[in-house]
Amino acid sequence: MALVTTRQLLLDAQAGGYAVGAFNVENMEMVQAVVTAAEKLKSPVIMQTTPSTVKYADLAYFYANVKTAAEMASVPVVMHLDHGNSFELAMRALRTGYTSIMIDGSHESFEDNIAVTRAVVDACHPSEIPVEAELGKVGGKEDDLEGGEGNPYTDPEEARQFVEATGIDSLAVAIGTAHGVYKGTPKLDMERISEIRKVVSIPLVLHGTSGVPDDAVRECIRRGMCKVNYATDLRIAYSKGINKVLSEHPDTIDPKKYNAQGREEVMQYVMSKIKVCGSEGKAR
């Protein structure tokens, strides 16, 4: 199946009361793991890369991996730019063939966030590529992503104004989640999701979900989240698999041996989160 965009997938999720899992991939084995998990559970799936990931190996490498996986799959697969940090990077991803673009101007002023987001929307929509943006600040630090200072929560009225001014297709909102590894159980402002949902009609996105209890994620979805992002825990799962092989067989020199175990751990993790999102059996 050819790569698809997030537009209809997220609208279907919104109408059906579930979410589509979005998983950050770092190499070929992670791509294989995510698509295999989606195939096993007959679920649509989103694979995504951050600016630091594409700095490591370029947009074209990751796009080629995901495009190949999608063409061999029978479920819908999206290639998404996560936390695009500039208009220029968003345009590079668009030209490369990414089928969903996030522009993250959340560290800018409200007005500047609107301006850069609107520019990306105007560039992507003629090609029917949907755009995600962020309002508020998801905390923590992962790669080059940092939560920044100021009020971390998304204001519902600002969200309404932002969506109307930009024409985006989905909105990542800040409710208390964070990137990276949590030091304790995150305290999420669930009611804020409901308040935003009342004034914003487009699909909402949950970032910083690795480490958030599954029941809390389900409640976020019940209140209106349609796309749920996972990154850190995929890295942990992959490293767990590699470390297991090398600790049991320290003389292993064939990368395929330990990479295969890393791939297996990621696949099992992704399957568990697809079930949390409620997208099992939703592929079509």
The encoded tokens of residue 158 equal: 């600002």
Rounded Cα–Cα distance for residues 101 and 80 (Å): 6
Tell me how far apart the terminal alpha carbons of the chain are, to the nearest angstrom. Answer: 11
Give catalytic status of residue 214 as yes or no.
Answer: no
User: What are 54's two structure tokens?
Assistant: 């594409």
Strand-pair category, 170-173 with 204-206? parallel
Burial class (CB in 10 A: 0-12, 13-18, 19+), 81: buried
Q: Are 274 and 43 in contact (CB under 8 A)?
A: yes
Name the catalytic one among 12, 82, 104, 233.
82
For residue 44, give the amino acid letter. Answer: P
Spatial contact of 116 and 148, defined as CB atoms under 8 Å apart? no
Q: Report the distance separating Cα 39 and Cα 71, nearest Å.
A: 12
Ramachandran angles phi, psi of 156, nearest 5°: -55, -40
Which residues are catalytically annotated?
82
